[in-house]
Amino acid sequence: MSDAARSHGRKSISATLAPRELMTDRPLLARAWTAQVITLLPEAFPGLLGESLTGKALKDGLWQIDAIDLRRFGIGRHRNVDDTPAGGGAGMVLRPDVVGAAIDEARRRRGELPLVYLSPRGARFDQGIARRLAAAPGVTLLCGRFEGVDQRVLDHYGIEELSLGDFVLTGGELAAQAVIDACVRLRPGVLGNAASTEEESFSAGLLEHPQYTRPAEWQGRPIPDVLMSGHHARIADWRREEAEAVTRARRPDLWAAYRARALRE
């Protein structure tokens, strides 16, 4: 058998040097969207992703998780994965030879999926990036720990760096789960209603309009009359106006981009 994965029905079979106990407990599916995660905490996955709609989609084979334990590729008897920063300083840095070996294993399993490192210095992750990654066969997410990853491995593999925002986490695992969730819910069949993703926040460059449901009045606060009118055109206009108002008030950056796009069109 060659090193390249061969497809037999839904299952993907490939040769491996990994002991059986180190492999995932379920075979990889050949055509399912794949979230590969290179992490020192493989037991953290699927975590919350195994619940609710993403969990159901996982069980139904609409997507799959492939957690790769970075410790397996560690150096020496103690499988060390990090070392002190060159030039001195606090903390430890993940070694490029260790991370590189894990990336090579990830590519051997699933080919060259988009490769992302979760990092506070990365570009801001947004709905547009989620759509791009969701449209790919999957994504390989590298979760940093300690002071981060040796720059050489990022340069060698041309790794894209993404950030959830201007704050620092203790590791990339929580950020990876957020990225996976944002992508999986965009995959066909996961939400069950394509309109749900078309009408939500950021789909048109705006924050979402306010939502209401029964009872018709609560604590003296009624549902806006227009939403009870049954007039779909008026409801659509109201929702667009409300989305514009909340975006203008809360996210001037999004509002400026929305207005600029409208002027170009």
Binding residues for S-adenosyl-L-methionine: 144, 164-169
Residue 70 tokens read as 């970075």
Q: What do you get for the CA distance between the two ends of the chain, in Å?
A: 54
| Segments of 95-224 assigned E as strands | 115-124, 138-143, 160-163, 217-218, 221-222
Binding site residue list: 144, 164-169
Contact 14, 108 (CB under 8 A): yes
**CA angle (35 as vertex; 206, 53 as ends), nearest 5:** 60
| Segments of the chain assigned E as strands | 6-8, 11-13, 33-39, 63-69, 82-83, 93-94, 115-124, 138-143, 160-163, 217-218, 221-222
The b-or-e profile of 217-233 (16+ CB within 10 A means b, else e) is: eeeeeeeeeebeeeeee
